[in-house]
Amino acid sequence: MTRHFLKDHDITPAEQAELLRFAAAMKNDRHGFDSLNHQGRLRSVAVVFEKPSTRTRLSFQIGIAELGGHPVVLDSQSSQLGRGESIADTAQVLSRYVDAIVIRTFGDDRIAELAQHATVPVVNALTDGWHPCQLLADLQTVAEHRRESLHTLRGTKLAFVGDAAFNMGNSTVIACSMAGMHVRVGAPAGYQPADDVLERAAEINAETGGSVTVTDDAVKAVTGADVVSTDAWLSMGMKDHEQRVADLTPYQLNAALLGHAAEDAIVLHCLPAHRGEEITDAVMDGPQSRVFDQAENRLHAQKALLAWLIGGDRR
């Protein structure tokens, strides 16, 4: 059966842990996994963008090449998608050429339709609802930090502050629950994860021992946290910048808020950051920031994902 990765919980908690171990091996031996194409398993991958991207574009394009495959990057303006060719027809055509389709798009209905009509694995490179590849990189970054203190991800306390009702908030809640972590969301009404996301997290946590709590008190969310994460207040495709800034300013990740976290807490941000809005320069550039390790880990985590999904590689 063709496996897709459209959201964090399209894999099991055990598979997520396996992927993270594989990603660490990929990072440890960056050019040691380039033989997949020689085995005829990873030749070409389409990477499709209907929204802008820097990190995702770079990490998939370079990662596929490092695995020995050939990335074909398409965007909506320069392909027939921009002229309205249907997603179903596009899925069928791409499936005749490539071993996998990676796509960044808007609604999750669009990626679901693509997966329904594709005969090769489809990977979510960000939708409005989910950013699961980002979370693999985030968890890899947290694991690197926790290893220093001889702990595992399980039981790690992560605070997510700001807009938790969009892709990064949803994926953080689910992927961290799958890792058995304790997530504390600090967000005002209207920016908190939807009930169905929290219900799914509760089901996962019953199995993994993790937890999710939601509060509108940013200090309460961050107090004692091992990891503090945030995301842009105005995601791609959103409007009402002024209103969102007004609503979310009390949730800015600044030195005062970070001061409530554990002394050795690390800071994550998927980037791009809007410095002075959701995060300050002092925190982004400070000693607790791991945002550039996190950006690098997109490469290793996605190489592991593609090798696992397409090549069937297991570590």
Q: What residues make contact with ligand NVA under the rule CB under 6 A? A: 126, 166-168, 231-232, 235-236, 270
Nearer to ligand NVA, 132 or 311 (CB): 132
| Segment contacting ligand CP by CB under 6 A, of 20-28, 49-57, 65-73, 254-262 | 49-57
Q: Which residue of 90, 134, 170, 172 would you call a contact of ligand CP, by CB under 6 A?
A: 134
Quickly tell me which residue has 């090449």 as its tokens.
65
Q: Binding residues for ligand CP, how many (CB under 6 A)?
A: 9
Which residue in 304, 314, 274, 307 sits closest to 139, CA to CA?
Answer: 304
Burial 90-124 (b: 16+ CB within 10 A, else e): bbeebbeebbbbbbbbeebeebbbbbebbebbbbb
Interactions with ligand CP, residue window 210-269 (CB under 6 A): none
Asked if 104 is an active-site residue, the reply is: yes
Backbone phi, psi, residue 212, to 5°: -135, 130
Q: How far is the CB of 234 from ligand NVA (least distance, A)?
A: 8
Q: Using the rule CB under 6 A, is 167 a contact of ligand CP?
A: no
Radius of gyration of the chain (CA): 19
Asked if 231 is an active-site residue, the reply is: yes
- Out of 104, 145, 182, 244, pick the active-site residue: 104
- Amino acid residing at 229: S
How far is the CA of 11 from the CAs of 83, 115, 185, 308, in angstroms? 34, 15, 23, 11
Q: How far is the CB of 270 from ligand CP (least distance, A)?
A: 4
Residues 6+ apart with CB under 8 A from 286: 255, 258, 267
Question: Which entry of ligand NVA, ligand CP, none binds 229, CB below 5 to 8 A by partner kind?
Answer: none
The angle that helices 108-117 and 87-97 make with each other, rounded to 10 degrees, is 50
Q: How far is the CB of 232 from ligand NVA (least distance, A)?
A: 5
Q: Using the rule CB under 6 A, is 73 a contact of ligand CP?
A: no
Asked if 270 is an active-site residue, the reply is: yes
Question: Which entry of ligand NVA, ligand CP, none binds 235, CB below 5 to 8 A by partner kind?
Answer: ligand NVA
CB 275 within 8 A of CB 59: no
Asked if 134 is an active-site residue, the reply is: yes
Chain residues binding ligand CP by CB under 6 A are 53-56, 126, 134, 270-272
